């Protein structure tokens, strides 16, 4: 029975007869949907947000780097979105792409993973494969998904197949797409792994098999902690270099010429996005269960969390050097997305910098060619809108703080027109009297 079920699932995937269910239609789920749709699978998207579902079914995108034309084309070739979780029974594969944030105590919040699995549970059936892609701590798939998937009598590895395959999306990166980013896959059993490989090898150029779901979960954390720690290192060196009158960006550029043993990481105003500022805490929290204190990782996190305060301090010093106080000054923050050339504000350090400046009495506006309306952490519009940059508007502000170095900014205009610039991204390399490196 086991062999027949497994072979049937693999056969349907290889013949593209399977219905692919994508649960969570955000920055991870939507590109994955488009990829499976483009190679001939019927895809059903499931999301709790009725507004998003309505937009997608109308052929409209809500993510800047994914065009509405692509959504409309997918709608015409079998894609459909729904808020009805009972339709999960129609799907042969269920890929979970839901958020895994931190709670107010900076502890892992896997409530979305659990509530989504609970919502799917009544509709799970034999012959399905369930894949979790959300970043989480090692053991989540075994401890939380496995018992829920088996609750109604299904046997994982025989009737239904459970895998973990971490997402690796990099929004706005023109060099990689869903197809070309290697996919790590770990199964609860060997049979699960075989099915997981069959699921993803249809859509992804290279599959990387690991021995367990725990190994796959740890792989994702290592990838992002590697970045967080190295960014923390260079952010700390930035502070030291600044005290010594050294340009850290010049130093990193010079070090990057070494053809071996060095990977360049550049400092900034702090960490942003859904992964890098959050993922280290998933490991440090879980490590305590094993009596391990991850001091090195936590120290890097502390350095990175202090960067917005450092930027505000440099802004205060810059204004003071020009005979002005921060209180009452007009400040324009350039870029509120967490990284260049995208519209995603999640965990953006610019948001914290704006709040800190405002709390100290500054009159703060922002300009971002990718974010027309400023939204709070709950996704609600605040009424603050992006300022269009021209010579006149730039001259109205006492200081411009560059927090996100979008390519669409006119840097020559900014440098020419601004009274004072606080540069957190090393965009203005020449030393001038109106430019302060932060």
Active-site residue set: 275
**Rg for the chain, CA atoms, rounded:** 24
CA–CA separation, 44 and 50 (whole Å): 15
* Pair of tokens at residue 91: 């799907």
CA–CA separation, 11 and 129 (whole Å): 13
| The residue to which tokens 């995937």 are assigned | 13
CA–CA separation, 202 and 204 (whole Å): 6
CA–CA separation, 411 and 402 (whole Å): 10
């Amino acid at each position: 029975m086991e062999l027949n079920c497994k072979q049937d699932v693999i056969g349907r995937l290889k013949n593209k007869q399977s219905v692919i269910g994508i649960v969570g239609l955000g920055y991870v789920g939507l590109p994955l949907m488009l990829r499976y749709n483009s190679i001939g699978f019927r895809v059903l998207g499931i999301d709790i947000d009725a507004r998003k579902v309505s937009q997608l079914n109308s052929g409209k995108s809500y993510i800047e780097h994914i065009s509405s034309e692509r959504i409309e084309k997918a709608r015409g070739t079998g894609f459909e979105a729904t808020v009805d979780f009972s339709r999960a029974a129609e799907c042969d594969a269920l890929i979970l792409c839901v958020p895994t944030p931190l709670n107010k105590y900076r502890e892992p919040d896997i409530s979305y993973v659990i509530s989504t699995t609970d919502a799917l549970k009544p509709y799970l059936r034999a012959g399905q494969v369930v894949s979790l892609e959300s970043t989480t701590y090692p053991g989540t798939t075994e401890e939380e998904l496995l018992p829920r998937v088996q609750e109604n009598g299904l046997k994982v590895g025989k009737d239904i197949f459970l895998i973990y395959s971490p997402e690796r999306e990099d929004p706005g990166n023109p060099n990689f797409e869903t197809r070309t980013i290697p996919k790590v896959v770990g199964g609860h059993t060997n049979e699960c792994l075989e099915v997981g490989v069959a699921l993803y090898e249809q859509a992804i150029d290279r599959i990387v098999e690991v021995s367990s779901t725990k190994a796959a979960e740890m792989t994702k954390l290592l990838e992002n902690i590697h970045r967080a720690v190295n960014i923390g290192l260079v952010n700390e060196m930035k502070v030291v270099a600044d005290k010594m009158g050294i340009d850290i960006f010049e130093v990193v550029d010079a070090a990057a010429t070494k053809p071996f043993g060095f990977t360049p990481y550049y400092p900034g105003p702090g960490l942003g996005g859904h992964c890098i500022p959050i993922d280290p805490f998933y490991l440090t929290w879980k490590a305590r269960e094993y009596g391990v204190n991850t001091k090195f990782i936590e120290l890097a996190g502390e350095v990175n969390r202090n960067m917005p305060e450092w930027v505000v301090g440099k802004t205060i010093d810059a204004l003071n050097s020009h005979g002005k106080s921060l209180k009452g000054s007009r400040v324009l923050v350039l870029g509120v997305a967490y990284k260049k050339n995208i519209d995603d504000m999640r965990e953006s350090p610019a948001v914290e910098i704006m709040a800190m400046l405002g709390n100290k009495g500054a009159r703060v506006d922002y300009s971002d060619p990718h974010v027309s309306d400023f939204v709070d952490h709950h996704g609600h519009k605040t009424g603050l809108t992006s300022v269009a940059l021209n010579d006149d508007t730039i001259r109205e502000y006492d200081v411009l703080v560059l927090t996100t170095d979008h390519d669409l900014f006119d840097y020559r205009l900014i440098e020419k027109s601004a009274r004072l610039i606080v540069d957190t991204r090393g965009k203005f390399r020449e030393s001038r009297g109106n430019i302060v490196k932060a």
